Amino acid sequence: MSEPTEPTVLTPMLEAARTASLALAGATTLQKNAALQAIADALRQNVPAIVEANELDRTHGRENGLAAGLLDRLMLDESRIEALASAVTAISGLTDPVGEVVTGSSLPNGVKISQVRVPFGVVGAIYEARPNVTVDIAALALKSGNAAVLRGGSAAENSNRVLVGLIQQALASVGLPAESVQTIDPFGREGAALLMKARGYVDVLIPRGSANLINTVVAESKVPVIETGAGVVHVFLDESANAQWAEDIVHNSKVQRPSVCNALETLLVHEKAADRLLGPVLGRLAASGVTIHGDERVQAAFPGAVPATEDDWSTEYMSLDLAVRVVGSLDEAMEHIRRYSTRHTESIITSDVVNAERFLNEVDAAAVMVNASTRFTDGGEFGFGAEVGISTQKLHARGPMGLPELTSTKWIVRGMGQVRV
Amino acid sequence: MSEPTEPTVLTPMLEAARTASLALAGATTLQKNAALQAIADALRQNVPAIVEANELDRTHGRENGLAAGLLDRLMLDESRIEALASAVTAISGLTDPVGEVVTGSSLPNGVKISQVRVPFGVVGAIYEARPNVTVDIAALALKSGNAAVLRGGSAAENSNRVLVGLIQQALASVGLPAESVQTIDPFGREGAALLMKARGYVDVLIPRGSANLINTVVAESKVPVIETGAGVVHVFLDESANAQWAEDIVHNSKVQRPSVCNALETLLVHEKAADRLLGPVLGRLAASGVTIHGDERVQAAFPGAVPATEDDWSTEYMSLDLAVRVVGSLDEAMEHIRRYSTRHTESIITSDVVNAERFLNEVDAAAVMVNASTRFTDGGEFGFGAEVGISTQKLHARGPMGLPELTSTKWIVRGMGQVRV
């Protein structure tokens, strides 16, 4: 038996989540979709209450000196609430992963086995100052048949309380347990610590937010974690790189949305391509406001570059900054990537088929690319519909995750009295 | 970057394992099969050296008062070594999971994506007094392209040293790195503790052995663990159970091999079937030497039963003992299972299609069965060829694991200059 023996302040909520998860596991797709539609309606019908609670959080945030970026992430207005409601409706339109038969066979003795997708049970989430994640994770968990226990952080506590209240009313209105979605924000940091220890109650824990938060959860959690980690993402311009592709892909990978995990952070350039490519590629970046942190050869070739330090090679800037290094060979590029990569996304720009295949085979990352923008590592781009996150771990899920990654499987075995011989 | 910063006594071996894993990831199936065949040959050609080292371990074991069961598990003789060599040859005959394309598509912009199986990298294993596991895990890891770091325990240290030495020679003889398989037994308990902390070096850790050992590893490991846990396995005889099936399946589930995790531990009987079934079912078990631990109604119906205590319901006997309880309904049976099950294997014997479907849908376990022996939850029986273990966790793998469960995936993305719009 895996049940924890010592009750904590969270135990009643965790018990309720587990009971709710049994009802959700048995709910039909139609019931779950009705709940999601009720949630979307409730969001649209309660904009003033959400905005009011959110303004309280933002006032506290300003008083506590929350950074402007965090205050912006915290903010919910009518258009953001409408976007959230639309996202919930979109999730209701996705294929339900529960019940999918993954594989199956008939054993030699006639026993039929099939492996079917089932919900995890209870999904925990820990994140900070992002009330939109409350709605997002709740909707993804519900669609995949899981109960959700959410720790959204004190900075968004009032927003989260109102949002979870609306979600619970919507659930009850369609006959599903209100406790399918709960917030543990009132228990503060102690609640988060207990959630990480709730083995036997919580089947999987998803941290969302800063590298610091994710690392803490990974290090401290006794519950299995799906790590959606940082991206120190590289592009390597090989000797034979097509100049236009190099320019377009580097610019798109760095500039299109610098604050996300699939954005480019370090550019590696083959020394035999440096004279040809550094000028146009870095010039186009600089024109878009990118600061180049270059090694000595980059500084010589591109006078606007500032000197790169050792720290630059392992930094996820998430800003209009780019580390740039000249390397002597494909092997030296791959060695650099092995050393500094967070194994998220790596791309080579090359016209040489052998180098392309070597890079695809030998580089160890969730996504390895040839002649494509690193920004393609994304659930939406990959056609998954939902964005559950991008896993940088190797167990269970790797790369962009869709709804099936929020499920487990079980084996269904049907016999007619067979025994093992 | 996930690399640990403080070197330990294990660091040189872990670095060597990681370097070896790069070579293994690039090795062809033919090379890996040649290595496995060389290992099988080496085992057969070095029986005297293996037996000699093993006798030393067993002498120490006897001096240290090792239990008879452990001494037997520790023992390697010519026939067991031959069986090990045959198992290695069998593994070389299995399909190589590496390179399998799991899924793929062409995005609307022409970018091609495919998800392919890749080795984890470095697999760690912690087990005790079972030198056969040294060969077994090494062969499974090699076939799936992983390096292995093994902690086999001080009781088998001499046997493991000789076995790993032979494996390393065999690897070198076919041009693969000897460090693909290493033992950390010389570092004792400190080595095991460091292995559990080797995040960034070890991709997945597999504990094998007692529930105690597995629980320790699960609780303490910072490295992701694949838990192959205990089985408190139930059979429920429903009101409508076919008497012959009930008798055969209960007997087979309990008696065929009582010491394994898919053996029956608790029998639940519908009260309306008790008069009809308890006599023949328990009588046949008793004739095979099974001790019945029964509740009051079972004791009344079957005088040979000893009283069951609360502890019996959560005990994995792994012996010719069986807990038996009479329940009032299917719901009461499922409630008992929810409370005491380790979520390994649960089976219902019934002729009622509604009850069969409810049991399959509502019981949460790695394998849920109707009218079949619980002994079928097994990689061999399921047709996987290899027996990597039976996962009782919900993440990554659940139920019997084959070679694919020793791999991760990565996304291969091939473009022609595409950028994200």
Least trusted range by pLDDT, from B167-181, B195-209, B403-417: B195-209
Query: What CATH number has the domain bearing residue B130?
Result: 3.40.605.10
Mean pLDDT of B114-137: 95
- Disruptive mutation site among A113, A222, A337 for chain B (greatest number of B CBs within 10 Å): A113
Locate B291 and state its tokens.
């001790």
Give start and end residues of each alpha helix (H) in B237-270: 243-255
CA distance A53 to A158: 5
> Residue B341: its chain A contacts at CB < 8 A?
1
**Is A389 inside a domain boundary?**
no
Contact A372 B342 (CB under 8 A): no
Burial pattern A218-236, b for ≥16 Cβ within 10 A else e, equals: beebbbbbbbbbbbbbbbb
Comparing alpha-carbon positions, the chain B residue that sits nearest to A122 is: B394
DSSP of B352-369: -HHHHHHHHHH--SSEEE
Q: Is it the case that residue B246 has pLDDT exceeding 90?
A: yes
Say what the pLDDT of residue A207 is: 92
- How far apart CA A130 and CA B26 sit, in angstroms, is 42
Q: Are residues A99 and A46 in the same domain?
A: yes
CA distances (Å), origin A185, targets A51, A103, A151, A179, A253: 19, 40, 5, 15, 36
**Residue A284, domain CATH:** 3.40.309.10
What whole-number distance in Å separates Cα of residue B76 and Cα of residue B56?
Answer: 11
Residue with tokens 């019945």: B292
Residues A337 and A315 in one domain: yes
Question: Which domain covers residue A302, as residue numbers?
Answer: 233-376
Look at residues B136, B103, B143, B138 and name the one whose alpha carbon lies nearest to residue B119.
B143
Do residues A39 and A123 share a domain?
yes
Q: Are B147 and B123 in contact (CB under 8 A)?
A: yes
- Among A253, A382, A413, whose Cβ lies nearest the Cβ of B372? A413
DSSP H helices, A174-270, are 188-196, 211-220, 243-255
| Model confidence pLDDT, tens digit, residues A372-407 | 999 999 998 998 887 788 999 999 999 999 899 999
Rounded distance, CA B147 to CA B25, Å? 9
Query: How crowded is residue B93: how many other Cβ atoms within 10 Å of its Cβ?
Result: 10
pLDDT at A1: 37
Establish if B117 belongs to a structural domain: yes
In this structure, the answer to whether residues A201 and A239 fall within a common structural domain is no
For A183-205, the DSSP string reads E-GGGHHHHHHHHHT-BTTBSEE
Whether residue A115 and residue B366 make contact (CB cut-off 8 A), yes or no, is no
Contact A365 B409 (CB under 8 A): no
Q: Tokens for A313, please give them.
A: 């090679």
Q: For residue range A192-227, list pLDDT tens digits in order.
A: 999 999 988 999 999 988 888 888 998 889 898 988
What does B77-95 look like in DSSP terms, one character per residue?
-HHHHHHHHHHHHHHHTSP
Q: How far is A135 from chain B (nearest CA, A)?
A: 24
- Please answer yes or no on whether A118 and B395 come within 8 Å at the CB atom: no
Q: Indicate the number of domains in chain A.
A: 2
Nearest to B420 among A219, A375, A413 (CB): A375
A412 contact residues in B (CB cutoff 8 A): 360, 368-369
- Per-residue model confidence (pLDDT) at position B5: 57
Residue type, B290: V
Q: ipTM score of the complex?
A: 0.93
Cβ–Cβ contact A146 with B under 8 A = no
B419 found inside a domain: no
Inter-CA distances, B78 with B53, B68, B73, B83, B129, Å: 13, 20, 14, 9, 18
Q: CA angle B99-B105-B107, nearest 5°? A: 135
Contact state of B413 with A367 under an 8 Å Cβ cutoff: yes
Start-to-end C-alpha separation, chain B: 29
Same domain, residue pair B192 and B126: yes
pLDDT at A406: 96
Beta bridge partners of A370: A348, B414
Give residue-wise pLDDT tens across range B21-79.
999 999 999 999 999 999 999 999 999 999 999 999 999 999 999 988 889 989 999 99
- Looking at the complex, does the CB of residue A240 fall below 8 Å from at least one CB of chain B? no
Q: Which residues contact A374 (CB under 8 A, 6 or more apart)?
A: A233, A235, A253, A262, A263, A264, A345, A346, A347, A367
β-pair type (B112-119, B399-401): unpaired
- Ranking A250-259, A377-386, B105-114, B407-416 by mean pLDDT, the lowest is A377-386
Q: Which of B339, B381, B413 sits opposite A372 (nearest CB)?
A: B413
Task: Please name which of A140, A154, A197, A133 lies closest in space to residue A57, comparing C-alpha atoms.
Answer: A154
Does residue B222 belong to the interface with chain A, where contact is any CB pair within 8 Å? yes
- Which residue matches tokens 């440096």? A274
From CA A27, how far away is CA A31, in angstroms rounded? 6
- pLDDT given for residue B1 in this prediction: 37
For residue B389, what are the β-bridge partners? B401
Provide φ and ψ at B227, rounded to 5°.
-90, 120
Q: How far is C-alpha B207 from the chain's CA centre?
A: 9
Contacts of A105 (CB under 8 A, 6+ apart): A112, A113, B382, B383
Residue A57 lies in a domain: yes
**Are residues B417 and A383, on separate chains, in Cβ contact within 8 Å?**
no
**Is the domain of A149 the same as that of A281?**
no
Residue B49 contacts A where some CB pair is shorter than 8 Å: no
Contact A219 B224 (CB under 8 A): no
What are the structure tokens assigned to A207, written together? 């941290």
Q: Are residues B62 and B201 in the same domain?
A: yes
Nearest alpha carbon to residue B45 among B155, B161, B165: B165
Is the pLDDT assigned to residue A172 strictly greater than 70? yes
State the number of CA atoms in the 13 A half-sphere of B288 facing the CB. Answer: 21
The answer, yes or no, to whether residue A255 has pLDDT greater than 60, is yes
Q: Which residue of B has its CA nearest to A363?
A: B22
Q: Are A281 and A246 in contact (CB under 8 A)?
A: yes
Give the closest-approach CA distance of B52 to chain A in angstroms: 36
Instruction: Name every chain A residue with its beta carbon within 8 A of the beta carbon of B18.
Output: none
Please check whether residues B329 and B406 belong to one and the same domain: no
Q: What is the pLDDT of residue B129?
A: 85
Pair (A121, A47) in one structural domain: yes
Q: Are A22 and A169 found together in one domain?
A: yes
Question: What's the pLDDT tens digit per position in B279-315?
Answer: 999 999 999 999 999 999 999 999 999 999 999 999 9
Whether residue B173 sits in one domain with residue B113: yes
- Least Cα separation, residue A74 to chain B (angstroms): 27
For A80-93, what is each residue's pLDDT tens digit? 999 999 999 999 99
Kindly give, in sequence order, each residue whose CB lies less than 8 Å from that of residue A243, ignoring residues fewer than 6 positions away. Answer: A276, A277, A280
Give exposure, A53-66, as e/b (b: 16+ Cβ within 10 Å): bbeebbebbeeeeb
Task: Give the per-residue pLDDT at A389.
Answer: 86
Longest dimension (CA), chain B: 80
Instruction: Please state, in angstroms and rounded to a whole number, the distance separating the CA atoms of residues B348 and B340.
Output: 16
Q: Decide if B383 and A409 are in contact by the 8 Å CB cutoff.
A: no
Q: How far away is chain B from the Cα of A142, in angstroms, using its nearest Cα?
A: 17
Q: Which residue of B has its CA nearest to A395?
A: B396
All residues of chain A having their beta carbon less than 8 Å from the beta carbon of residue B206 are: none
Side-chain half-sphere CA neighbours of B403 within 13 A: 28
Quick one: how far is CA A158 from the chain centroid?
Answer: 24
In a 13 Å sphere around the CA of A188, the CA atoms on its Cβ side amount to: 1
Domain membership of residue B1 (yes or no) is no
Assigned domain for B29 exists: yes
Do B373 and A420 count as a contact with CB atoms less than 8 A apart? yes
Report d(CA A368, CA A234) in Å as an integer: 10
Phi-psi region of A396 (alpha: psi -120 to 50; beta: other; left: phi over 0): left
B2 inside domain: no
Gap between the Cα atoms of A270 and A91, Å rounded: 44
The distance of B111 to chain A (nearest Cα, Å) reads 8
Determine the straight-line distance between the first and last CA of chain A, rounded to whole angstroms. 29
Note whether B395 contacts A204, CB cutoff 8 Å.
Answer: yes
Q: Do A202 and A248 fall within a single domain?
A: no
Pairing of β A112-119 and β A101-106:
antiparallel
Q: Which residue has the tokens 């040649």?
A: B34
Is the CB of residue A399 less than 8 Å away from at least one CB of chain B? Answer: yes
B370 interaction partners in chain A (CB closer than 8 Å): 413-415
Does A419 map to a domain? no
